[in-house]
Amino acid sequence: MGTVTPKDGQYGNESPADKFLRQRVVPSNAIAPGGVGRDSNGQICFHRDAQGLHMIYGEDTNQGDSHLTAGWGYFLLTGTAVGSFGYQEVGKMIPTYQPTPDGAENYGCGFLSDGRLLTTDVGNQASGVGNGQLIIWFPPFDNGAVYSDTGVRPTTPAHYCKLDIAVGTAGGIYVDQQDHIYVASARIAPGFGPGVYRYTGPFPTSDTAAGGCGQQDNTGAPLVNANTLTKEKFITPDLVNIVTPNAIVASPKGTLYVSSVYNGVIAEFDTNGVFIRRILSPVAGESLPFPSTGTPGHRRRFKRHGLLCGHRGRRHERARRLQRLRAPHSVRQRPAAVTGNHGQRTQFPRRHRDPGRVIRRLRAARDYAHRGTASPKQ
């Protein structure tokens, strides 16, 4: 498929009364069926190379109930202004997933300084063992993407190595300037409580034993060599400000913002993982689903709140499907909708189920939070 450039008025583009120009850069499959649109899920990351600016996010178009084609789409972006942006899916990454009755859920993404890609998938969402995964992928990522009625599949399988297969409800990824990897975990896994975990390398350079990936997991996929990574709990939930860490992003001040879906809070931490302050809290007296902060308690499953740092370092939270890019048309400046390699958004499915079910599961997550322990090398 060639590059798609949605025009004004197409797929929901508009110039509303607030004088912001809007363009739906990547329409959903429901809005633009037949191979034009793509369904999105989880964190969005950006990466620039010799070919231009690329975007990656969880892409699960036509995945069906089996989630067999859930993975990460790699998109080449074109254009320089709102109204002219176009996209082409040039790659698709699909790993093996740990067994879960919830179905595979692609979520986090990030890049190391040398261009290796990182992803997380959620695993069991609110019950069962923690079996979310942290995976490292090796270039090239433009391995082709073929649309069909049963999903988008790669032309050539991408190469990867699993770094962790026991993350409890894995969430967002942040990579610092020293290539430490931070992963939010919202629920207990065996030996590990909910928290933000920091991984220190060396990380594998290929999917071979010589490249640091000489083991196999229970699905037969490449797994990192034993005793080569250090996993440590960087932030421990205090059960007051942060209960279920779901996403993490750097602030312009060099601190970190962490979201917690259970209590609808976004909090700031220093570079040592020490709590500084709340920067967003629900209105007093509110309970799940916290309409003032957008915590998605009314949605089908135990989903997460995403974070993004935008224009001039302002912090935003998103707890709804976002596929529109906004740019200021007037003198007054507002945050751009996408910026930086660590911009994060949370996308949610449109399926609606009993809200009491997710609330019960979120309350169960609070009880799990009391069991966090220190984490060893793996």
pLDDT band at 363 (very low <50, low <70, confident <90, very high): low
pLDDT at 23: 86
Structure tokens at 135: 């995976």
For CA atoms 163, 168, 174, 180, give the dihedral sign: negative
Other C-beta atoms within 10 Å of 322: how many? 19
Nearest to 141 by CA among 163, 170, 111, 104: 111
The class of domain 21-371 in CATH terms is: mainly beta
pLDDT in tens, 235-275: 999 888 998 999 999 999 999 999 998 888 999 999 999 99
Residue 326 has pLDDT above 50, yes or no: no
Coil vs helix vs strand at 144: strand
Concatenate the DSSP letters of all residues of 201-253 into one string: SPPPSSSSTTTT--EE-TTS-EEPPTT--EEEEEE---SSS-SSEEEEEE-TT
Report the distance separating Cα 186 and Cα 165, nearest Å: 15
Coil vs helix vs strand at 356: helix
Residues pairing with 201 in the sheet: none
Residue 204 has pLDDT above 70, yes or no: yes
pLDDT in tens, 153-171: 999 999 999 999 999 999 9
pLDDT in tens, 85-127: 999 999 999 999 999 998 999 999 999 999 999 999 999 988 8
pLDDT at 277: 95
Which residue do the tokens 């939270």 mark?
317
Identify the residue with better confidence: 321 or 26: 26
Report the distance separating Cα 84 and Cα 32, nearest Å: 18
Residue 29 has pLDDT above 90, yes or no: yes
Percent of the chain surpassing pLDDT 70: 72
Report the distance separating Cα 102 and Cα 300, nearest Å: 11
Which residue do the tokens 């069909």 mark?
148
Residues pairing with 159 in the sheet: 138
Contact 303, 359 (CB under 8 A): no
Identify the residue with better confidence: 290 or 245: 245
Residue 76 has pLDDT above 60, yes or no: yes
Identify the residue with better confidence: 366 or 303: 366
Residue 339 has pLDDT above 50, yes or no: no
Q: Is 48 exposed, middle or buried (0-12, 13-18, 19+ CB in 10 A)?
A: exposed
Contact 367, 360 (CB under 8 A): no
Report the distance separating Cα 160 and Cα 205, nearest Å: 9
Residue at 189: amino acid letter: A
> Residue 168: CB partners within 8 Å, gap ≥ 6?
123, 130, 132, 185, 186, 187, 188, 189, 192, 193, 194, 368
pLDDT at 174: 97
Other C-beta atoms within 10 Å of 64: how many? 13
Structure tokens at 355: 């809200």
Report the distance separating Cα 250 and Cα 114, nearest Å: 19
Coil vs helix vs strand at 141: coil
Q: Is 122 exposed, middle or buried (0-12, 13-18, 19+ CB in 10 A)?
A: buried
Is the pTM value of this prediction over 0.95? no
